[in-house]
Amino acid sequence: MEENILWEGSHEEIYGVDFTVLDVARAAELCSFLDSKKLRRGLITRNMRSAVDLFHQRFGIIFSPALSREFRPYKPDPAPLLHICSSWEVQPSEVMMVGDSLKDDVICGKRAGSFTCLLDQTGRYDASEFDSADLKPDFKVSSLTEVFPLLEANFDLAP
């Protein structure tokens, strides 16, 4: 099965408030890994298109397609993820949505029928209040570096 990766980009990440040099380095490493496996990557964000373009230019990490807040309806509606799947000509079950929000990213991915991976860098989603089946991601990581082994252990990544 070919796996495709969708990333969610939060407001803080795009504008550099929380997106540190280390985060960019980890994202770049993950993108290199995905490239080596010939896996596509897209972006779904509530940021403006101009912020996404600035991110692409500033860090040289390109997502295609990159859907911004101008795409409606936006997550948690599955429409943006389904749009990307359609443009890639893949089924949602061949895609993993990686994001840092249970209520937006995980719900979007689950509603679309995709695998979901929650990036919880601070452990804020460890509380029992987040144990709802609707909010339970297929995978959970605390760092982008954990995505490498997760993909290799759970999916056939042969290029």
**φ, ψ of residue 6 in degrees (nearest 5):** -115, 135
CA–CA separation, 3 and 66 (whole Å): 18
In this prediction, what percent of the chain has a pLDDT beyond 90? 53
- pLDDT given for residue 32 in this prediction: 92
Contacts of 3 (CB under 8 A, 6+ apart): 39, 94, 95, 96, 151, 155, 156, 157
Calculate the average pLDDT of the chain.
84
What does 32-89 look like in DSSP terms, one character per residue?
A: HHHHHTT--EEEEESS-HHHHHHHHHHH----SSEE-TTSSSPTTSSHHHHHHHHHHT
- pLDDT given for residue 54 in this prediction: 87
For residue range 6-27, list pLDDT tens digits in order: 555 543 333 333 445 557 888 8
For residue range 125-156, list pLDDT tens digits in order: 888 877 776 779 999 999 999 999 999 999 98
CA–CA separation, 76 and 117 (whole Å): 15
The position carrying tokens 């779904």 is 44
